[in-house]
Every structure is written in C-alpha cells, then in structure tokens.
Amino acid sequence: MAEEHGIMRRISRISSRLYGDLRYICRGEGLTQERLESYIREVTIDRIKLAFSLYTCAISLDEHKDKKDGDYRSIISRCYYCHYHLARAMIFWISRDDIDKHEKLPKNLGKILSTEYAEFIDKLERFRGIRNEVEYSPYPEVDRSLREISEHILVETKTSIELMVCCFQERELDFDENM
C-alpha cells in the first residue's frame, strides 16, 4: 500500500511531456527495470562512441599535411565536443540525468565525481572557452597560435579519454575501448 501511494504521488507530479514519453516507452511488451537499465547502458555507450568518433575525426584532420586555419579550428572543436559527450555520458550513467547545456556540465559533473577528476572538469570548461573563441570569432583571443592550441588539445584529449575510460570502468560500465 505504501509503495502504491508513493507511485501515485509521483504520477501526480508528472508533466504531459513525461507522460507521453512514459506511454511511448512502455508501449508493447512493457518496460521492465532490467530493460530500462539495458537501454541506459546502450545510450551511455552510444554517447561514448560519439565522443571517440569526434576524437578520431580530430586526429584525421591533424594528419593532413597542409592544414589551414579552419582545420585547426575544427580540431579544437572536435576535441571539445569529445569532452562534452564524455561528460554527458558520465552524468547520464551515474545520475540518469541528461544535461546538455554546455555551461551546466562542469558543475553537474563536479557534484558526482571525486576530486581526482577535477582536471577533466577543468579541461571541459577551458576547452569550451577556447572552442567558443575559435568558432565564433575571425580574430580569436587566444594565447598561442591555433596550430599550437590544436596540438596541445589533441594530446590533452587523449589523456582525458584514458581517464574517463577508467572512470566508467570503476562504475561498472565496460565497453570496447577501440570503438
């Protein structure tokens, strides 16, 4: 009876959008807790795959011999978005919440990860600022050349990926690191 009362209280607070989402998800066979957790795992891994693919794209751009200004800007952007999607995946995996606002990600990530991941959170914020400068301004206010920044961010992104793979593994999410 108490469990049913709790369920009824939660239902009384849902929005029409959430109700529609719940109806859609539960259609057919119905949604079990096991299937829900399986879907959450798949969505998290798909986000990680997206992050890895963006890093791979940045590496491919870096391999071009005669890079131009736009290539360096794209490398910086792809590396930032790799961090962005790794952060979204981690928050989703741990808290089951999808935070997609760029400025909210670091704060939310800081609430759920220990201080040993503070460097990743700092990179997420710093690289967003750099990405904003190089994507939105023809004259970005940056302290080094775009080539130097892109080289640095590529190295830092590789380190971030290794760190976050360990973080996911510590939280019992195993996946093929060679995605």
Listing DSSP states for 79-139 in one string gives HHHHHHHHHHHHHHHHH------TTTHHHHHHHHS-GGGHHHHHHHHHHHHHHHHHHH-SS
Q: Which amino acid is at 99?
A: I
Rounded to whole angstroms, the Cα distance separating 80 from 112 reads: 21
Q: What is the CATH code for 32-170?
A: 1.20.120.330
What is the mean pLDDT of the segment spanning 153-176? 94
Is the model's pLDDT at 169 over the cut of 90? yes
Q: How far is CA 28 from CA 22, 42, 62, in A?
A: 12, 20, 47
Whole-number pLDDT of residue 54: 98
Is the model's pLDDT at 175 over the cut of 70? yes
Q: What is the pLDDT of residues 66-84, one digit of tens each?
A: 999 999 999 999 999 999 9
Is the model's pLDDT at 30 over the cut of 80? no
Rounded to whole angstroms, the Cα distance separating 166 from 174 reads: 9
Whole-number pLDDT of residue 179: 66
Q: Which residues contact 100 (CB under 8 A, 6 or more apart)?
A: 88
Secondary structure class of 64 (helix, strand, coil): coil
Rounded to whole angstroms, the Cα distance separating 148 from 146 reads: 5
What is the mean pLDDT of the segment spanning 52-65? 97
- 49 vs 17, more confident: 49
Whole-number pLDDT of residue 174: 85
Work out the mean pLDDT of the chain and round it to a whole number: 92
Q: What is the b/e burial string over 142-169, where b = at least 16 CB atoms within 10 angstroms of the residue's CB?
A: eeeebeebbeebbebbeebbeebbebbe
Of the listed ranges 10-24, 47-61, 76-90, 142-156, the one predicted with least confidence:
10-24
What is the mean pLDDT of the segment spanning 49-69? 97
What is the mean pLDDT of the segment spanning 5-28? 81
- 32 vs 120, more confident: 120
Q: CB atoms < 10 A from the CB of 117, how many?
A: 18
Whole-number pLDDT of residue 24: 83
Is the model's pLDDT at 1 over the cut of 70? no
How buried is residue 34: exposed, middle or buried, by Cβ count under 10 Å (0-12/13-18/19+)?
exposed
Q: CB atoms < 10 A from the CB of 15, how many?
A: 8
Domain extent listing, the chain? 1-31, 32-170
